[in-house]
Amino acid sequence: MIISVSGKGGTGKTTITALVLKTLIENTDKSILLVDADPSTNVPIVLNEKIDKTVGMVASELKEKMEKGDLSYSTSKSLLLEAWVYETIKETMRYDVLPMGRTEGEGCYCYVNSVLTSIIDKIASNYDVVLMDMEAGLEHLSRRTDKDVDIMLIVTDPSKMSLETVRRIKDLTQEVHIGVKEIYVVGNKFPFESKDYLERKIKEMGLKLVGIVPVDLNIINYSMEGKSLLDIPRDSPAYESVRDICLKIGILNEPRN
């Protein structure tokens, strides 16, 4: 099962991703891979973890070595890259993180990218759930980073621009024929009273609003303190809302308590 979280910059993609992760950790035994697909690698910030190497870094390294002729003909580039990508995976007790990072430098990464895609597909197939925190905006759709997604969560906050981004993500998903099975919109930082209004707006776009996540003081405090969002109290309103959303989209059967 692959779940991606997208939306305009700053709407709360990483926060929602962290709360979905918390939901899965606390209520299921599923094996989880968290893919930080945002080039600015901010998942570690909300989870308070350190990342040493990203996939982008090792891909750049391979490309450089290929250009300099540093690799012998007998070296299998795809096996080498695969080994290096596996080294970037950060393992924790309950989930693993794959930090994509960005591919630095000029020139064509076509070969490296195509090898990379199959390596990542292979890694992803080892987990029950793959949760992807996407980069802001639409770029990832044209690069087909979210191909074969089962559930796409599009996060919007109460701004016209982020609602506009929801519409554009939906349109582009259809244009580039990304095989997304379900698309759901999450209204983040909305008061509960605005639910009906937002629901109508989202319906007009031909999409489903799956829930509203309120502004949550615990999230604000934990963010400012640099504490992991996985540790916010279970009765935090934003966490309760995300748990409800996970129930609705069918990735959670019944919460444990």
Residue 42 sits in the site that holds ligand ATP (CB under 6 A) = yes
Provide CB contacts within 8 A for 200, sequence distance 6+: none
CA distances from 36 to 24, 80, 89, 205, 211 (A): 17, 22, 11, 28, 23
Q: Say which entry of Mg ion, ligand ATP, none residue 41 contacts (CB below 5 to 8 A, set by partner kind).
A: none
What are the structure tokens assigned to 199, written together?
């629901």
Instruction: Kindly state the smallest distance separating residue 106's Cβ from ligand ATP, in Å.
Output: 25
Which residue type occupies 91?
A: E
Would you count residue 238 as binding ligand ATP (CB under 6 A)?
yes
* 213 touches ligand ATP (CB under 6 A): yes
Q: Which does 136 bind (CB under 5 to 8 A by kind): Mg ion, ligand ATP, none?
A: ligand ATP
Residues that bind Mg ion (CB under 5 A): 13-14, 42
Q: Considering only residues 12-31, where is the footprint of ligand ATP by CB under 6 A? A: 12-15
Extract the tokens encoding 224: 């400012």
| Cβ closest to Mg ion, residue 6 vs residue 14 | 14
Strand runs (DSSP E) across the chain, as ranges? 2-7, 32-36, 90-91, 96-99, 129-133, 151-156, 182-188, 208-213
**Judged by CB under 6 A, which of 28, 48, 78, 223 binds ligand ATP?**
223
Q: Judged by CB under 6 A, does residue 41 bind ligand ATP?
A: no
Which among 75-83, 89-97, 175-183, 209-217 is the span making contact with ligand ATP, rule CB under 6 A? 209-217
Q: Are 176 and 144 in contact (CB under 8 A)?
A: yes
Q: Which entry of ligand ATP, Mg ion, none binds 161, CB below 5 to 8 A by partner kind?
A: none
- Distant-in-sequence, close-in-space partners of 63: CB < 8 Å, separation ≥ 6: 103, 105, 107, 109, 112
Give how many residues touch ligand ATP by CB under 6 A: 20
Q: How far is C-alpha 61 from the geometric centre of its chain's CA atoms?
A: 24
Q: Which stretch binds ligand ATP (CB under 6 A): 27-35, 124-132, 213-221, 248-256?
A: 213-221
Q: Is the dihedral of CA 244, 249, 254, 257 positive or negative?
A: negative
Q: What is the closest distance, in whole angstroms, from the C-beta atom of residue 56 to ligand ATP in the complex?
A: 16
Q: Exposed, middle or buried: residue 62 (CB in 10 Å: 0-12, 13-18, 19+)?
A: buried
The residue among 112 and 130 lying less far from ligand ATP, judged by its C-beta, is 130
Decide whether 81 or 166 has the Cβ nearer to ligand ATP: 166
Among 54, 170, 216, 230, binds ligand ATP (CB under 6 A): 216
Q: Which does 191 bind (CB under 5 to 8 A by kind): ligand ATP, Mg ion, none?
A: none
